[in-house]
Amino acid sequence: MIHTQLFIDGQWRDAAKRQTRQILNPCDETVIALAADGDRRDAQDAIAAARAAFDTGSWRGSTPRQRSRLLLDIAQLLERDSEDLAALETLNTGKTLAESRTDMGDVAATFRYFAGLVATDSGQANAAPEHIISRTLHEPVGVCGLITPWNYPLLQAAWKIAPALGAGNCVVLKPSSLTPLSSWRFTQLLTELDLPPGVFNLVSGGAEVGAELAEHADVDLVSFTGGAQAGASIMRAASGNFKRIGLELGGKNPNIVCADADLDTAVDYALNAAFFHAGQVCSAGSRLLLQQEIHDEFVRRLAERLPRIVIGPGQLPDSQMGPVQSAQQHDKILSLIAAGVKEGARLVYGGGRPDGERYRNGYWLQPTLLADVHADMLIAKEEIFGPVITVERFHDEAEALRLANGTPYGLAAAVWTRDLERASRMSRALRFGTVWVNDYHPYFPEAPWGGFKSSGIGRELSRIGLEEYTELKHSYINLAPKPMGWFGA
Ligand code: NAD
């Protein structure tokens, strides 16, 4: 049995109230770990440690090369222990080992990417008279509260930790109370390196730890990935001291297939878009929009593939889809499917727990296909966050765009077409932070990630993802000061 602790001011310790939280295996609901369950007091201690480290410590004044070196060292440790980390992520989230291995590769790549960016960041000299040195400098924001969700625990954390530390900030990480294990293991790796106390702190626990980070006056920036409700509450709390905020929220992502698309590939990717990590992906292509001419054939082909998806524990090499992460998520998905059927959607496949002894315990769901869905149904509007594809039909490009954009969310969208002119036109018209054409899901550290509209504020990854963790300073040095004689001379 794993026992995790908090990491505050360079020390491992139990939660102040010595409380722990049971961490369950989503495959069979057995207890796999007891995680330290921090509360507001622990969060306050961590914030104080981070504040002191930032205000009086050496990290903020470290050179870009030193910070870049640290990120590279972290990447190396992550690569050394990637199998171990992937196994832990699979155990805790239920995702397949192949997916967790991909995640760990991406986690290390994130640290490597920001190491490169940090090393070359020297600010910018501004045009000015000869006796003036005017520079735009990137300085760390200060103490950063990082709050992460349960679907990509270490990957989402890496997108925040790497640029935050790289820019010279001190951080307090709060992972989801459901999936704290990989963040705890990551923190163990950090202790192998020479990081000053207080620069990195880990406080596992529930929403109150996150709320404390959002409210506390000594936190300068809060970066949150999670649901809209918590995001709104964080935004309100952060207004107390006008914190910088980054919000990566949910999505209701349209995957649009035009009649001229390569159907074999589009069908294959539609499955990947929707069932990767059992659909628990913020950018999941759960809302399939099919052009009238290909609609029936496309649905038929999907229905043929669904029974062949191998559902099983992520550790087994033949498993293609694991369970969903929690009982709460399981219930929510089932109730949304029921609501869809009640509103007139046609259940083509799935809709419940798979048959068989293996699936009796744990949060298992069949891959599910609902057709004849209309834009005004709950399942076309709410983020389902499970292995469910809803299918709507459209007649022409204008209708596809109207349906696709008719959501308050704006995280990701895809278009399948062989017509490059249409591809370009639709990419521009879709109001989403990422628009893929003839592909689904790729993201990488070099490109920005984030949402339009209610999918969030700010961007992660890319150069912009680093700038989110910096304050811009105009440094102005007059090399030849002389009296001005303006007043009373
Ligand atoms: P959640 O909002 O319930 O929780 C996210 C984190 O916030 C957890 O650590 C939680 O403990 C904490 N939290 C909850 N309430 C809080 C509050 N009031 N104040 C401060 N912290 C609080 O989300 P979740 O269920 O863990 O994750 C699923 C959601 O995350 C989905 O909506 C998904 O779309 C979104 N998500 C978005 C992205 C993205 O890049 N946009 C990526 C992954 C997940």
CA-based nearest residue to 469, from 99, 196, 142:
142
75 lines ligand 1 (CB under 6 A): no
Residue nearest to atom 8 of ligand 1 (CA): 176
Question: What distance in angstroms lies between residue 107's CA and the mean position of ligand 1's atoms?
Answer: 19
pLDDT value of residue 448: 98
Question: What distance in angstroms lies between residue 250's CA and the mean position of ligand 1's atoms?
Answer: 9
Which tens digits make up the pLDDT trace of 11-52?
Answer: 999 999 999 999 999 999 999 999 999 999 999 999 999 999
253 lines ligand 1 (CB under 6 A): no
Question: What distance in angstroms lies between residue 148's CA and the mean position of ligand 1's atoms?
Answer: 6
pLDDT value of residue 377: 97
Residues 6+ apart with CB under 8 A from 145: 47, 171, 172, 174, 210, 213, 214, 216, 219, 221, 222, 223
pLDDT value of residue 489: 86
pLDDT value of residue 121: 82
Q: Please list the ranges in the chain whose pLDDT falls under 70.
A: none
Question: What distance in angstroms lies between residue 381's CA and the mean position of ligand 1's atoms?
Answer: 18
Which tens digits make up the pLDDT trace of 114-167?
Answer: 999 999 988 899 999 999 999 999 999 999 999 999 999 999 999 999 999 999
* Closest ligand 1 atom to 460 CA: 40
* Closest ligand 1 atom to 147 CA: 9
Q: Which of 89, 212, 215, 248 is catalytic?
A: 248
227 lines ligand 1 (CB under 6 A): yes
3-state secondary structure the chain: CEECCEEECCEEECCCCCCEEEEECCCCCCEEEEEECECHHHHHHHHHHHHHHHHHCCHHHCCHHHHHHHHHHHHHHHHHCHHHHHHHHHHHHCCCHHHHHHHHHHHHHHHHHHHHHHHHCCCEECCCCCCEEEEEEEEECCEEEEECCCCCHHHHHHHHHHHHHHCCCEEEEECCCCCCHHHHHHHHHHCCCCCCCCCEEECCECHHHHHHHHHCCCCCEEEEECCHHHHHHHHHHHHHHCCEEEEECCCCCEEEECCCCCHHHHHHHHHHHHHHHHHCCCCCCCEEEEEHHHHHHHHHHHHHHHHHCCECCCCCCCCCECCCCCHHHHHHHHHHHHHHHHCCCEEEECCCCCCCHHHCCCCCCCCEEEECCCCCCHHHHCCCCCCEEEEEEECCHHHHHHHHHCCCCCCEEEEECCCHHHHHHHHHHCCCCEEEECCCCCCCCCCCECCCHHHEECCECHHHHHHCCEEEEEEEEECCCCCCCCCCC
234 lines ligand 1 (CB under 6 A): yes
**Exposed, middle or buried: residue 487 (CB in 10 Å: 0-12, 13-18, 19+)?**
exposed
